[in-house]
């Protein structure tokens, strides 16, 4: 009988949603957030050797589908991700994703993974890494505006990496706030549910905006933001989709991932194309200054960059080697004679 089983060269480790959930609990969510943040920090410190391009976006009336590629010369990675703010009304998520790592030398994939959970983890890890460097010293209180999918991850990362003790929740939908408060109960944070965005910002040194709306929204107006805070602006990540009043941007020291992408997608799309920004990786390497005084407003204009996904996938790849939390997926054709793909196909003829 003909052997139709795939060879080992055909098999690519695949991390399913089920395996990712098990991995998070096996490692521990806070440990995993710390681990991913460490990998992101390592990769940001070698920023210059990566291939970089603004992500490739396909827009429609309801949302966007994006491809996010990068490579460090040895390993290539990409993420497929969508953003559809009205999806939740249909019982679908705003953001779903999967991604891949490949060996640059052969072009063969070495990992395929779900990335919906991983995106929430890596976005939170990035936010917290940036806040650890830029937020006022001893920041203990965070306002969390937008209490959807990302919110618990953002809150926990800020606790474990920055040392936040209280999170003050606000969402236009009180059901989202109730869900977030319930999920965070017993996780070592003081959780306060608020009725307005202003109330959520009382006593907060860090303000995270993480709302989803495919339009220019003004979640924070100029008069709401006092001196000496760090704003972690997550939700403005698409052309025509922002969260902050331009006057805040004029008062803030703005830090970005990759300016070429952020000028298209971030809060700074509202500003002139040469509005001054600092690339965060340069703060990590010491090439640029971070916060320089207590009164400054620092703003992380986050849009999510391919290197963060690459780092998160690298982290997962290293973890699954020990845990076995993956399926060998028959993804690559592997004929006995590399030039006889047709012959291999004929073996499956009924
Ligand atoms: N920067 C990044 O790297 C990154 C990564 C992931 C997601 N995002 C973006 O973050 C945003 C949130 O993502 P999510 O997965 O949590 O979405 P989600 O749809 O699960 O949650 C969004 C929440 O925002 C609330 N909201 C909408 N308008 C509001 C307003 N005016 N005031 C207060 N709350 C409001 C909604 O009620 C909802 O609960 C999206 O815009 C998404 O595209 C960015």
Angle (nearest 5°) at CA 162 between 46 and 115? 60
Residue found under tokens 């047709």 = 342
Please identify, by atom number, the ligand 1 atom nearest to the C-alpha of residue 170. Answer: 33
Could you give phi then psi for residue 149, rounded to 5 degrees?
A: -50, -45
Instruction: Calculate how far, in angstroms, residue 212's C-alpha sits from the geometric centre of ligand 1.
Output: 3
**Domain parsing of the chain, residue ranges:** 8-117+307-346, 125-304
Contacts of 134 (CB under 8 A, 6+ apart): 230, 255, 283, 290, 291, 298, 300
Q: How many CB atoms lie within 10 A of CB 214?
A: 20
Q: CA 78, CA 68: separation in Å to the nearest integer?
A: 5
In tens digits, what is the pLDDT along the chain, a chain of 350 residues? 456 677 788 899 999 999 999 999 999 999 999 999 999 999 999 999 999 999 999 999 999 999 999 999 999 999 999 999 899 999 999 999 999 999 999 999 999 999 999 999 999 999 999 999 999 999 999 999 999 999 999 999 999 999 999 999 999 999 999 999 999 999 999 999 999 999 999 999 999 999 987 678 899 999 999 999 999 999 998 899 899 999 999 999 999 999 999 999 999 999 999 999 999 999 999 999 999 999 999 999 999 999 999 999 999 999 998 899 999 999 999 999 999 999 999 999 99
Least Cα distance to 26 among 323, 326, 327 occurs for 323
Please identify, by atom number, the ligand 1 atom nearest to the C-alpha of residue 173. Answer: 37
Alpha helices, DSSP H, located in 165-305: 174-184, 197-200, 246-251, 259-265, 280-285
The matching CATH number, chosen from 3.40.50.720, 3.40.50.10800, 1.25.10.10, 3.60.15.10, for 125-304 is: 3.40.50.720
For ligand 1, atom 21, the nearest C-alpha belongs to 148
Q: CA 346, CA 350: separation in Å to the nearest integer?
A: 9
pLDDT of residue 1: 46
Contacts of 271 (CB under 8 A, 6+ apart): 246, 249
Q: How many CB atoms lie within 10 A of CB 299?
A: 27
For 119-167, what is each residue's pLDDT tens digit? 999 999 999 999 999 999 999 999 999 999 999 999 999 999 999 999 9
- Return the active site residues: 237
Alpha helices, DSSP H, located in 161-208: 174-184, 197-200
pLDDT of residue 216: 84
Domains 8-117+307-346 and 125-304 share a fold: no
What topology is assigned to 8-117+307-346 in CATH?
Answer: ornithine cyclodeaminase, domain 1 (3.30.1780)
CB-count exposure of residue 132 (10 Å: 0-12, 13-18, 19+): middle
pLDDT of residue 7: 75
Q: 51-60: buried (b, 16+ CB within 10 Å) or exposed (e) per residue?
A: ebebbebeee
- Structural contact between residues 261 and 303, judged by C-beta atoms closer than 8 angstroms: yes
Pocket of ligand 1 (CB under 6 A): 83, 88, 94-95, 119, 123, 145-150, 171-173, 176, 210-213, 217, 219, 234-235, 237, 302-304
Mutation test residue for ligand 1: of 119, 201, 210, 266, the one with most atoms within 8 Å of CB:
210
């Amino acid at each position: 009988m003909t052997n139709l089983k795939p060879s080992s060269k055909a098999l690519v480790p695949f991390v399913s949603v089920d395996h990712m959930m098990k991995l998070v609990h096996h490692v521990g969510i806070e440990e995993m957030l710390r681990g991913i943040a460490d990998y992101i920090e390592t990769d940001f410190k070698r920023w210059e050797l990566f291939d970089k391009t603004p992500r490739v976006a396909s827009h429609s009336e309801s949302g966007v589908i994006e491809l996010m590629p990068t490579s460090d010369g040895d390993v290539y990675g990409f993420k497929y991700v969508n953003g559809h703010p009205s999806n939740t009304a249909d019982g679908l998520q705003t953001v779903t994703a999967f991604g891949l790592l490949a060996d640059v030398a052969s072009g063969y994939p070495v990992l395929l993974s779900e990335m919906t959970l991983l995106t929430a983890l890596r976005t939170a890890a990035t936010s917290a890494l940036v806040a650890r460097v830029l937020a006022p010293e001893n920041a203990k209180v965070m306002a969390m505006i937008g209490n959807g999918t990302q919110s618990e991850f953002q809150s926990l990362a800020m606790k474990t990496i920055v040392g936040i003790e209280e999170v003050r929740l606000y969402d236009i939908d009180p059901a989202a706030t109730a869900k977030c408060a319930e999920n965070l109960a017993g996780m070592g944070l003081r959780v306060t549910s608020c009725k307005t965005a202003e109330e959520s910002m009382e006593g907060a040194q860090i303000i995270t905006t993480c709302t989803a709306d495919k339009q220019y929204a003004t979640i924070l107006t100029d008069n709401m933001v006092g001196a000496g805070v760090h704003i972690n602006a997550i939700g403005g990540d698409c052309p025509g989709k922002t969260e902050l009043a331009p006057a805040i941007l004029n008062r803030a020291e703005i830090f970005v991932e990759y300016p070429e992408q952020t000028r298209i997608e971030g809060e700074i799309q509202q500003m002139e194309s040469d509005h001054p920004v600092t690339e965060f990786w340069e703060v990590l390497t010491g090439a640029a200054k971070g916060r320089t005084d207590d009164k400054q407003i620092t703003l992380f204009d986050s849009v999510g960059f391919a290197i963060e996904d690459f780092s998160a996938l690298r982290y997962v790849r290293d973890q699954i080697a020990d845990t076995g939390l993956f399926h060998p997926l028959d993804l690559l054709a592997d004929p006995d004679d590399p030039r006889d793909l047709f012959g291999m196909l004929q073996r499956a003829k009924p």
